[in-house]
Amino acid sequence: QVQLVESGGGLVQPGGSLRLSCVASGSIFGINAMDWYRQAPGKQRELVAIITKGGTTDYTDSVKGRFTASRDNAKNTVWLQMNSLKPEDTAVYYCHTVIRGIGYWGQGTQVTVSS
């Protein structure tokens, strides 16, 4: 069994910053890439960022230059640093990974960007 636990969400004003964390535990041997997704009300879940085990990252266009993914493999932890937040970044953010062909999701953490 694999558990992903996100934290760090909250309410922030436009232009502000938040740092999300995701800790993986359990049968995580073989874990490689980890992803951040988000889902806004009434919208489909979308991929926001990917970070490989080696630290290579990729981002959806709408967050490039504002969000930065990082990880510490020894701590089985990934982070998503979100700067210059906009109201359209409001969503539930999920951590995701695939291990031995099985996908796992965290419970999500709410990010609300509002004045």
Residues in a beta bridge with 105: 96
What number is the average pLDDT over the span 27-49? 92
Lowest mean pLDDT among 3-7, 28-32, 36-40, 76-80: 28-32
What's the confidence (pLDDT) of residue 26? 86
What number is the average pLDDT over the span 63-79? 95
Give the Cα separation of 6 and 78 in Å (integer). Answer: 9
Do 11 and 85 meet the contact criterion of CB atoms below 8 Å apart?
A: no
Residue 107 scores a pLDDT above 80: yes
